[in-house]
Chain A
Amino acid sequence: MSRAAHPDAMSPAEPGRTRTAPPQKPASWPSHPRMRVYTLFGWTGVLYLLIGFGLLETAWSLGQGEVVWDAKLASFSHPAYVAFHLLCLVSVVFVAVRFFRLFPKSQPARIGPAKPPPRPVILAGLYAVWLGVTALFVAILSGAIFS
């Protein structure tokens, strides 16, 4: 069964000449696979919010003395914390893949005389940059470079 959309959705500036039934949302929402993906995408925002709070709390704990800071560092290896970060990793990959799928067509048809390359080239470029940046971070964090 469909659910009500905003009662004024798509209504005209001047009232119609006859009584209308109020607009309904599509009955396929939210069960449609595409809508699920979109909703999931929305929910990833909660994870980033939590990460943000975590960062704030970590920064705050720096000012609370060495004992608190050491306890903070120790908590990073807690399985729940690791699991949470793994979830975040999955979510980042999901958001990136979704974004990469939609990105090419949102490119302007051209800037001046320059036209964008074909879609597969854009996609390949996006993935290459992504993998490159990831590799760079892994290298830095593992101490392979800049250590």
Chain B
Amino acid sequence: MTDVCRHDVIIVGGGAAGLRAAIAAVEADPEISVALVSKVYPMRSHTVSAEGGAAAVARDEDSLEMHGYDTVKGSDFLGDQNVIEYFVEEAPKELTRLEHWGCPWSRNEDGSVATRAFGGMTTKRTWYATDKVGFHMLHTLFQHSMRFDRIVRYDEHFVTRLLVDDGNVRGVSALDIRSGEVRAILGRSVILATGGAGKIFPFTTNGRIKTGDGMALAAAAGVPLKDMEFVQYHPTGLPGTGILITEASRGEGGLLKNSEGDRFLVTYDYGVGKKAELGPRDMISRAVVQEIEAGRGISGPYGEFVHLDLTHIGREKLEARLPFVLELARTYAGVDPLTEPIPIRPVVHYMMGGVDTDIDGATSLPGLYAAGETACGSLNGANRLGSNSLTECLVFGARAAQHAVLYSRGSSEGNESALLAQAEAEAARVSALRRHKKGSEKISTIRRELNTTMEEGCGVYREQASMLATVQTVASLQDRASDLRVSDDSMVFNTEVIAALEMKNMVDVAQAVSVSAAARLESRGAHTCRDFSSRDDENFMHHTLCYLEAGGPRLDKKSVHLGHWEPEERKY
């Protein structure tokens, strides 16, 4: 018999969006019972790895209008403008809340919150806490959440399915990783906040846990994934490991140089104009790839790279502003940024796409909400600006929770026996997986093949032929992933069963990415097609919706919310 737990609002994921949602839910209604379900302890969530900062207007020289315009231009005009307007307005409030909760924001001499320059932003509006902003935000949120005893944590519980009855989501089934048992966690609304899916790619800044679980859960429940073709490559990752070297290192004055020691963003025309190193990520990633293709890269054991030069900034400033970059470069690249340039190359960083939501975080499935990287509320459009995503987690985590609380008030508990039957079925599925010693496919092989094909088909530059090949390969991997070999048949802390469940999620998400990419016959933001090298507003000024159905993926369109800013050529 499955263990049954009852709450009002269930939040899946314990990163910035999930924790902010949990806090917002108990703030909205102190009597409410919130379940915070996460496959890791919340302080391990991948928000922890964000480095550079969180954007919100903070200075008199700045304005909401400017932040909004930068964001919409960064999105290559695919961002929903009502969402962007709401976002820029709420952003300063949310970062202020975090300040009140103890986040150690770096300060100006007069004690006010300091801001730094960031790619694609016209002025300094990125709040920071040295270069460990995600870490400090996550720990502040987690520690603040501990004061509310109405937030009940289910640490190290892996959600396997959304429990749906009568067209409403009414809970989740979660595998308790420690005991190996499947629990039915029932509630009146569910918020997905599980983050991105970088692990479908070989080189990524993302940690092991970023396997697109929330996106796959929603897709399995019939909710469309939106704009999945837009995958952000961060221009400065360490070759080999993919470890992130923050954009703040350019914000603080770092320069990109090729093998000739030349600042190629200035020498050649890559569309970033005077912004140079402070151009948006999609453009700089393309520039780096082009430099390498032009033979001006430097070769190393993990392929070609270019240099990020911080040597001129000076020890004092680097130690004060970028201590983590120093530590990472020394530990993982074996170079000392005080005296040597850091080898870098573009690396998968962020999914602009995700679970299709409206401005309230609501999905097409009643009771189901999503926030953060998992969601696609269309703040980021075709390309996200650096430092918008941490703020996004707060703004839309809070909003999704407020609406989930409202929804839960008017919702019934549903037919419990039907829900429990679904959880029982999940328990049986997990149990079968645990005994699947005879499976013919090795998890690490499928992962490697998936990674390879995603890089080939959905890299910085894409070609129609390779994208279609990737669609085929992913489809075959999807079949093969249903027969994974699981050698571990233990109940307790069976990480191989988790890896198998994650692999299924990864191939689902990879399918949505590749299918959506192959259908967008233009170049916009992070989606750059060699066969269709310009933006085509006439035919493609719309969001892509991807439904993962039993018969295969199905695509649809959704219009972009315009109105405030007219689409124009994106040039810096």
Contacts and interface: CB of A to CB of B under 8 A. Distances in A.
Contacts of A18: 178-179, 491-492
Contacts of B179: 17-18
A4 B178 CA distance: 23
Interface string A7-20: 00000000011100
Nearest to A16: B178
A17 B3 CA distance: 13
A17 B176 CA distance: 10
Contacts of B492: 18
A16 B156 CA distance: 13
Contacts of B491: 18
Contacts of A17: 176, 178-179
A76 to B, nearest CB: 56
A18 B494 CA distance: 13
- Interface of B, secondary structure class, is loop
Contacts of A16: 178
Interface string B170-201: 00000010110000000000000000000000
Contacts of B176: 17
Nearest to B491: A18
A16 B155 CA distance: 13
Interface string B479-513: 00000000000011000000000000000000000
Nearest to B176: A17
A61 B317 CA distance: 68
Interface string A22-56: 00000000000000000000000000000000000
A17 B491 CA distance: 12
Nearest to B492: A18
A13 to B, nearest CB: 14
B5 to A, nearest CB: 13
Interface in B147-178: 176, 178
B497 to A, nearest CB: 15
A10 to B, nearest CB: 15
B509 to A, nearest CB: 31
Interface in B94-152: none
Nearest to B180: A18
B37 to A, nearest CB: 16
A60 B176 CA distance: 69
A16 B492 CA distance: 12
B180 to A, nearest CB: 8
A113 to B, nearest CB: 15
Nearest to A19: B492
A57 B179 CA distance: 63
A16 B176 CA distance: 12
A17 B178 CA distance: 7
Interface in A101-134: none
B154 to A, nearest CB: 12
Nearest to B493: A18
B249 to A, nearest CB: 29
Interface string B6-33: 0000000000000000000000000000
A18 B490 CA distance: 12
A38 B440 CA distance: 55
A143 to B, nearest CB: 54
A18 B176 CA distance: 11
Nearest to A17: B179
Interface string B319-354: 000000000000000000000000000000000000
Contacts of B178: 16-18
Nearest to A18: B492
A22 to B, nearest CB: 16
A19 to B, nearest CB: 8
A39 B444 CA distance: 47
A18 B177 CA distance: 11
B536 to A, nearest CB: 56
Given A17-B178, A18-B179, A18-B492, 5 more contacts: A16-B178, A17-B176, A17-B179, A18-B178, A18-B491
Interface of A: 16-18
8 contacts: A16-B178, A17-B176, A17-B178, A17-B179, A18-B178, A18-B179, A18-B491, A18-B492
Leading 7 A-B pairs by shortest Cβ distance? A17-B179, A18-B492, A18-B179, A17-B178, A18-B178, A17-B176, A16-B178
